[in-house]
């Protein structure tokens, strides 16, 4: 099929062949090239969800510990600390 997009050549290794065979059982109507595209897109979605989950966990941890040290340094702490710095 004519296209202006770049084409990618992939060697079907044993691992890739096994993944394509497994995908073929779920999508028997697709060619191996279509299965490869499907697997790549599914993998991207899974990776995106994992990244979003990690971000959500980090934000939850920040919210959970936010304010834990409130008042630990006392009033005017930074001003007193800066007075100790050399000019």
The predicted-structure confidence for 14-51, as pLDDT tens digits, reads as follows 999 999 999 999 999 999 999 999 999 999 999 999 99
d(CA 34, CA 11): 15
Q: Is 42 in a helix, a strand, or coil?
A: helix
pLDDT (0 to 100) of residue 71:
87
Q: Domain extents for the chain?
A: 7-66
Classify residue 29 by its DSSP letter. T
pLDDT (0 to 100) of residue 85:
92
| pTM of the predicted protein model | 0.69
pLDDT at 86 exceeding the cut of 90: no
Residues in the chain, how many? Answer: 87
pLDDT at 74 exceeding the cut of 80: yes
- Which pLDDT band, with edges at 50, 70 and 90, does 87 fall under? confident
From residue 85, alpha-carbon distances to 1, 77, 79 in Å are: 70, 13, 10
């Amino acid at each position: 099929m004519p296209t202006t997009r770049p084409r990618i050549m992939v060697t079907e290794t044993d691992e890739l062949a096994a993944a394509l065979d497994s995908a073929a059982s779920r999508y028997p109507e697709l060619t191996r090239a279509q299965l490869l595209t499907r697997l790549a897109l599914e993998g991207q979605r899974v990776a995106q969800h994992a990244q979003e989950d990690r971000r959500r966990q980090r934000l939850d941890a920040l919210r959970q510990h936010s304010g834990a040290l409130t008042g630990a340094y006392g009033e005017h702490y930074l001003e007193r600390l800066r007075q100790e710095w050399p000019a």
